[in-house]
A and B are shown apart, each in its own frame.
Chain A
Amino acid sequence: MSEDLEAKFLRKIEGEEKIEPKDWMPDGYCKNLIRQISQHAHSEVIGMQPEGNWITRAPSLRRKAVLLAKVQDEGGHGLYLYSATETLGISRDEMIHALQTGEAKYASIFNYPAQTWADVGAIGWLVDGAAIVNQVSLQRTSYGPYARGMVRICKEESFHQRQGYELMLVLARGSDDQKALAQDALNRFYWPSLMMFGPHDAESAHTAKSMQWKIKRQSNDELRQKFIDQTAPQIDFLGLDHPDPECKWNEERGHYDNGEIDWDEFYDVINGNGHCNRQRIEHHVRAHREGEWVRAAMQTYEARKKKAKAA
């Protein structure tokens, strides 16, 4: 019986049909999805912190409004992805618990500090940019709710990337001080953005199974290459120095070559020892704890209203 179900499931995957919440799916597929989508949701939510940290200091009212709206979008993505994960039979409370206890991960990039105003530009341009490369690929992921979520989210991410790049452009064409801010932000965020695609394919723990189930459609290294290729001319157009001196166009490959990523740093941050790992989770835990009485009041009030209605 279960073999039939699994065969049917695999046939669907094979035929590029979407798997929907009510469909039978192997346990491993479901677990894998929960891990990936909730991690994605947590990333959106934790990602509100580094940029949110600049809302009160944005140097113009227009930038302040744009940044507020962007951070709001990210929160909205988080909500949307939490709902998509809930279709797999896990509650938001459980997911938040997993985040706060370190059981679930979020994108490591958000453990890097947003130190200067230019970082807001660099994050929009590079971090949202890298996220898009990944998410465009995920629009073809095999799980229906996730695939549809990606289509919707990608549109907004592209908007964020353009805004971030435009912010960088203004700085890069501005005063010497502004240009230095832009270069510094690029230098700090370039490599971590490359790391967003995860370890090399050979070292990636989840890639093989995820590819077979078509949760992932392209490998880490393929996606990273795509990002490197799209970013090099953008850096050039800004008139900034490329942070990777080995980044050169390779005619033969039809791609840019690049220098090696510092994987020690990558694993250090992944393992919880980046500049902001502890701070990000503590922040989330604090806000959640401070909100406890609010959520309790809401529940009590709703229960009271229901009771009054019934009576």
Chain B
Amino acid sequence: MKAKILEYSTRLGDDSLVLGHRLSEWCSNAPFLEEDLALINVALDYIGRARMFYGYAAELSADGRNEDDFAFMRDQREFSNLLIHELPKGDFAFTMLRQLFIDLFNSLFLPRLAESSDKTLAAIAAKAIKETRYHLRRSHEWTLRFGLGTDESRERAQRAIDQLWGYTHEMFDLDALESELAEAGIGVDSGALKTEWEQQVSAILTEAELEQPGEQWAVKGGREGYHTENLGQLLNEMQSVHRAYPGLEW
């Protein structure tokens, strides 16, 4: 079971780190200064989560690895983040709509994980719930601003939704490991969250006068390391310094 929890915590760490990286790319590129600061805030929350999940994985591995070994010394085929996190940051509408979908998911997922019988996972989730509440307030508000703003903002938001939609389904899939952990009361049965998530998405999009895509398509594979080309590039950049001088303290 320990090995399975290690794997689970690593996956959640990968999700957090990769999304945190994408958010951090906005630094000095945001539409106005206040938004630079807010995006850095959210990025910091995700980097913080990654450190906690990896830290726990490292502890469970008991083989001398630390959080940085998980972040910097694994290749993209070993990274197991869901694909939605690795898609390039795109325009501001893409970034905020991705946040909306993920924030809504996390606002359902984290309270369940906070009830995990695994005390560490539960504690990490409990801390993250508060952050996610703030993230969701932001992404909700921005969705309204886009949808009820100008023609251009509405078009950009709609395009983002259409581009993202097929990557949302993966959030609700469980493989054998996740099913087993869910049954054991350690992990979350994310499949059971889908209906509620869809209702909430639908309510917000309706409020913003945006359309929920009818077309059903799904791209999947992140948990098995079957990634888009974007992750390899992201990791090349992220791991470059660490790997150029292996085995050192920073």
Contacts and interface: CB of A to CB of B under 8 A. Distances in A.
Interface stretch (A12-20, A55-63, A122-130, A252-260): A55-63
B245 to A, nearest CB: 6
A56 B235 CA distance: 9
Contacts of A291: 30-32, 35, 92
Interface string A73-106: 0011011001000000000000000000000000
Contacts of B24: 55-56, 64, 68
Interface in B148-166: 148-150, 152-153, 156
Contacts of B68: 60-61
A79 B245 contact: no
Given A75-B36, A297-B153, A61 B29 contact: no
B250 A170 contact: yes
Interface stretch (B41-49, B108-116, B188-196): B41-49
Interface stretch (B2-10, B216-224, B236-244): B236-244
B145 A298 contact: yes
B150 A300 contact: yes
A210 B197 CA distance: 60
Interface residues of A, number: 45
B27 A294 contact: no
B47 A48 contact: no
Interface in B17-54: 17, 21, 24-25, 27-37, 40-41, 43-44, 47-48, 50-51, 54
A177 B144 contact: no
Contacts of B250: 59-60, 62-63, 170
B33 A79 contact: yes
B27 A61 contact: no
A203 interface: no
B122 to A, nearest CB: 22
A293 B48 contact: no
Contacts, number: 130
B136 to A, nearest CB: 18
A57 B238 CA distance: 5
Contact of A49 (B21, B28, B51, B92): B28
A200 B226 CA distance: 61
A59 B150 contact: no
Contacts of B241: 57-59, 117
Contacts of A57: 237-238, 240-241
B248 A178 contact: yes
A80 B86 CA distance: 34
Nearest to B54: A61
A76 B37 contact: yes
Given A56-B21, A60-B250, A68-B27, A295 B32 contact: yes
A69 interface: yes
B89 to A, nearest CB: 11
Given A57-B240, A61-B68, A293-B156, A72 B37 contact: yes
B51 A75 contact: no
B105 interface: no
A292 B144 CA distance: 17
A2 interface: no
A75 B36 CA distance: 8
B143 to A, nearest CB: 11
B47 A68 contact: yes
Interface in A125-145: none
B27 A71 contact: yes
A275 interface: no
Contact of A296 (B17, B48, B149, B238): B149
A267 interface: no
A183 to B, nearest CB: 15
A291 to B, nearest CB: 3
Contacts of A283: 28
B30 A298 contact: no
Given A65-B44, A68-B44, A290-B91, A296 B152 contact: yes
Contacts of B43: 68
B71 interface: yes
A293 B152 contact: yes
B120 to A, nearest CB: 18
Interface in B131-181: 144-146, 148-150, 152-153, 156
Contacts of B240: 57
Contact of A59 (B30, B34, B242): B242
Interface of A: 45, 48-49, 52, 55-65, 68-69, 71-72, 75-76, 78-79, 82, 117, 170, 174-175, 177-178, 283, 287-288, 290-298, 300-301, 304
Given A79-B34, A82-B33, 11 more contacts: A62-B250, A63-B250, A64-B47, A69-B44, A71-B27, A72-B37, A75-B36, A117-B241, A287-B30, A288-B31, A297-B146
25 contacts: A45-B28, A49-B28, A56-B24, A56-B238, A59-B242, A59-B250, A60-B250, A62-B250, A68-B44, A72-B37, A75-B33, A75-B37, A78-B33, A79-B33, A174-B249, A178-B248, A283-B28, A290-B91, A293-B152, A296-B149, A296-B150, A297-B145, A300-B148, A301-B149, A304-B148
